[in-house]
Amino acid sequence: MAGHRVCRLLHWGLRGPLLIPARSCVSGATALEVTAANQNLTNAERKRFIRETPVPFSAFLTDGFGRHHNYLRISLTEKCNLRCQYCMPEEGVKLTPKGELLTTQEILTLARLFVQEGVDKIRLTGGEPLIRPDVVDIIAQLRKLDGLKTIALTTNGITLSRQLPKLRAAGLDVLNISLDTLVPAKFEFIVRRKGFHKVMEGIDKAVELGYNPVKVNCVVMRGLNEDELVDFVALTEKQPLEVRFIEYMPFDGNKWNFKKMVSYQEMLDTIRQKWPELEKLPTETSSTSKAFRVPGFQGQIGFITSMSEHFCGSCNRLRITADGNLKVCLFGNSEVSLRDWLRSNTSEEELIQVIAAAVGRKKRQHADWLRPPRARLDALTPSPHPEAEGADAAAPRPGSFRNMFIRQTYLRWPRDILTPAVLISRCFSHDQKVPRPIPEPKCLNTQSSSYVEAGETICTQSRKTDDFNETHNPETRGPSEHLTHVDSDQCRKPDRRDYYAVFF
């Protein structure tokens, strides 16, 4: 009788069903219009509305633009043992109370429902998923789901070498390891923690256990690691690695820093200067990575172009956060709490219809996600004519994304260092009238808040600096968030220079 079934597509808002236009079902049947005058329905009324407005399972994972979603990303935890600069502030983020996070059984229930309706690939993410004690058991249970073809995991690799044999035995198919630099000191600067050699051991262990390819995710940041593109490509010559260069994405956690972004085309041009014979490889329509290989190399490289060339038109991904919210778009603000529905004795059929409603209202593409909150617009660029406007000209002005600094920090900088050199350097010497930029972060000692030239003795001072009223927190093993001044006599050499650190 399925051919005679009346099809309705429901759009479900945060407070109740929304007025939506009629549209067609995947099966070709006519969709009826769903309306609700009262937006403040009780929980019982919402459940009754769902029961009376069924969505056929054939429409479950297909949105209004015909995109079928067969790829689910599940965050196992919000916690992470690193503090990557592009991901979160140095002090970390406020964690959701444990009781509001999905339990293991809730994760497995949702995974089963999604696989039952067409998902054939699940990726476990975080935070850092390997922090979760039962990650091996979760993978083993997922492996039992009929129809699930691929179980993948994205990790920072810090504990990978120790856990990978059990993960492999449990059924982990695909592995992505985050690594943004091949320089140990720079690694500690980026992630604000030690552990470079542990990550490399994890990559070696993955190759040893037969993962092919081993995917290495590298976020490329201007002025920090874009000079290592060629070195990363060279890793693929004799190892089954797929290095994926990811465009830096500004967002609230990294203070909407647009200056660090290196575009896909710029990265490609740099690599082709070394290997002009670089060839493009065919990829699946839904792939987020543009694949290339140097002829004769065992591995390959890829580019994830979220900024310069978005892939919304072929997006097949859905995401469940650690606290149980369904996100149909990584860059969208719309979320539906599946956790709340699970804990309100909702039937599986009702839950499926709630999910179908969320997928059905997914937009064609993310819009205006690059626009920072209005509060950030007060901390943009200094005046282009400071000499004509006096001392106050150094204060941030709205009107451009060229320099996105926090106002309080900007106004604490000494006036004599607010020069063009500041705009292009992270750290520089102030022993001359015109600051001398230091192009590489070799001046950084990540175990304290000191900045030294390559080859100099590393200072260990971490006291409060009178100049800027900044306090370094040694527990973070990284520099203070904004700037730090080195002036300790205990570590000074005769040719010692003082340095400021400037973060962009």
pLDDT, tens digit (0-9, with 9 covering 90-100), for 260-285 = 889 899 999 999 999 999 999 998 87
Question: Nearest Cα to 222, choosing from 85, 92, 96, 357?
Answer: 85
Residue-wise pLDDT tens digits, 369-415: 444 443 333 333 333 333 333 333 333 333 322 233 222 233 333 44
Calculate mean pLDDT across residues 53-58: 43
Question: Nearest Cα to 499, choosing from 424, 438, 420?
Answer: 438
The structural domains of the chain, with segments of one domain joined by +, span 71-323, 374-501
The predicted structure's pLDDT at residue 251: 54
CA pair distance 130, 167, nearest whole angstrom: 10
- Cα 332-335-338 angle, rounded to 5 deg: 150
More confident residue, 216 or 467: 216
Residue-wise pLDDT tens digits, 131-149: 999 999 999 999 999 999 9
Query: Mean pLDDT of all residues in the chain?
Result: 70
Q: What percent of the chain has pLDDT over 90?
A: 41
Calculate mean pLDDT across residues 355-362: 86
CATH code for 71-323? 3.20.20.70
The predicted structure's pLDDT at residue 335: 85
Place of tokens 């900024």: 307
Task: Report the Cα–Cα distance between both ends of the chain, in Å, rounded.
Answer: 62
Residue-wise pLDDT tens digits, 319-340: 999 999 999 887 677 789 999 9
* Full-model pTM: 0.63
Calculate mean pLDDT across residues 203-213: 98
CA pair distance 376, 403, nearest whole angstrom: 11
Residue-wise pLDDT tens digits, 18-29: 333 333 333 333
Q: What percent of the chain has pLDDT over 70?
A: 58
Question: Could you tell me the pLDDT band of residue 101, with boundaries at 50, 70 and 90?
Answer: very high
